[in-house]
């Protein structure tokens, strides 16, 4: 009956689901629920989520503005690779906190699909350090670009260059031929940069393993086309991943095909805001 109550309660469903996904046992969660009111139990769960994602000072000992500072500082220090596990946890919690923000919503996060389809983190905007090196990788990357360009009115010259490269025998498809074409495509998709790879959380989102493997380091427009196709087909896509590729967090309406520094900053701001509201207990947890 206790587990059924947690399942039926939308707030408890999401917080307990998060903690279980983080490796906390049901037995340990039940211990937190003993000899306390429901609101006290909820606060204990928030405190546990805070400790596992942000860490440091106990949640109940700091004010909301201090929570914001702590969350912002934590996000700034995280980097893809060394902190990928922590980033995944925070992006999952961001999705859950977003779902809980509006009491009119009855949406529930699909933890079963999230686990079975092995959703993990991936770059929103491609990073030049992951440029395709093997011939097979270059072919696959170019085919994704070509498929996207074939659905657009512009880009005739680039389509022709891609098709010409794809027609070359492997021994002729040298780096000296691929690199100029690669640079032109990054320029076309507004992803050419001489700066260091953007490995912060503001350039990362949750992607399923299949998309990660097949579209690894694809440009934003190609990933967007793929994710929206999945969403339209009724395939599970986390809400915030969908919002990223629809550019719901962007402050101004610009090209939906490119991921700009302004988009990145607005996205990180949205993550901070949602997490702070969650930890401060300002989620609309009753429907």
Cα–Cα distance, 40 to 27 (Å, whole number): 18
Closest Cα partner for 12 from 239, 287, 285, 276?
Answer: 285
Establish if 237 belongs to a structural domain. no
**Digits of tens for pLDDT over the chain (287 positions)?**
899 999 999 999 999 999 999 999 999 999 999 989 999 999 999 999 999 999 876 777 788 899 999 999 999 999 999 999 999 999 999 999 999 988 788 899 999 999 888 899 988 987 766 788 889 889 988 998 998 888 887 778 899 999 999 999 999 989 899 999 998 998 888 886 545 558 899 999 998 887 777 776 788 888 888 888 888 888 889 999 999 999 999 887 667 778 888 899 999 999 999 999 999 987 554 43
Report if residue 123 sits inside a domain.
Answer: no
Q: Does residue 38 sit within a domain?
A: no
- The residue segments making up the domain with residue 169 are 128-188
Round the CA-based radius of gyration of the chain to a whole number and report it: 21
Separation between Cα atoms, residue 196 and residue 200, nearest integer Å: 11
Question: Does 253 fall in a domain?
Answer: no
Q: Is residue 70 part of a domain?
A: no
Q: What is the pLDDT of residues 23-67, one digit of tens each?
A: 999 999 999 999 899 999 999 999 999 999 998 767 777 888 999
* Residue 183 domain-assigned (yes or no): yes
Give a three-class secondary structure readout of the chain.
CHHHHHHHCHHHHHHHHHHHHCCCCHHHHHHHHCCCCHHHHHHHHHHHHHHHHCCCCCHHHCCHHHHHHHHHHHHHHCCCCCCHHHHHHHHHHHHHHHHCCCCCCCCCCCHHHHHHCCEEEEECCCCHHHCCCCHHHHHHHHHHHHHHHCCCCCCHHHHHHHHHHHCCCHHHCCHHHHHHHHHHHHHHCCCCCCCCCCCCHHHEEEEEHHHHHHCCCCCHHHHHHHHHHHHHCCCCCCHHHHHHHCCCCCCCCCCCCCCCHHHHHHHHHHHHHHHHHHHCCCCCCCC
Report how far residue 241's alpha carbon sits from residue 226's, in angstroms, rounded to the nearest whole number.
12
Domain count, the chain: 1
Does residue 280 lie within any of the structural domains? Answer: no
Compute CA 187 distance to the chain's CA centroid, rounded to the nearest angstrom: 24
Residue 50 forms part of a structural domain: no
pTM: 0.86
């Amino acid at each position: 009956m206790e587990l059924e109550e947690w399942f039926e309660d939308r707030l408890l469903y999401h917080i307990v689901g998060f903690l279980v996904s983080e490796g906390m046992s049901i037995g340990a969660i039940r211990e937190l629920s003993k000899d306390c009111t429901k609101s006290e139990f909820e606060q204990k769960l928030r405190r546990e989520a805070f400790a596992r994602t942000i860490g440091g000072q106990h949640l109940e000992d700091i004010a909301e503005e201090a929570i914001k500072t702590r969350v912002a500082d934590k996000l700034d220090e995280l980097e893809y690779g060394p902190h990928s596990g922590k980033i995944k946890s925070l992006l999952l919690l961001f999705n859950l906190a977003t779902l809980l923000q509006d009491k009119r919503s009855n949406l529930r996060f699909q933890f079963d699909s999230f686990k079975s389809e092995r959703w993990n983190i991936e770059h929103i905007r491609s990073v030049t350090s992951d440029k395709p090196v093997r011939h097979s990788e270059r072919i696959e990357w170019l085919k994704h670009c070509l498929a996207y360009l074939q659905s657009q009115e512009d880009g005739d010259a680039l389509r022709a260059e891609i098709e010409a490269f794809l027609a070359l025998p492997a021994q002729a498809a040298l780096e000296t031929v691929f690199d100029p074409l690669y640079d032109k495509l990054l320029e076309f998709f507004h992803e050419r940069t001489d700066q260091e790879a953007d490995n912060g959380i503001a350039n990362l989102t949750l992607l399923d393993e299949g998309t990660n493997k097949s579209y690894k380091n694809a440009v934003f427009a190609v990933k967007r086309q793929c994710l929206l196709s999945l969403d339209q087909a009724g395939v599970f896509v986390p809400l915030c991943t969908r919002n990223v590729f629809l550019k719901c967090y962007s402050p101004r309406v610009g090209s939906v095909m490119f991921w700009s520094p302004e988009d990145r900053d607005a996205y990180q701001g949205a993550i901070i805001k949602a997490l702070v509201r969650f930890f401060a207990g300002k989620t609309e947890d009753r429907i």
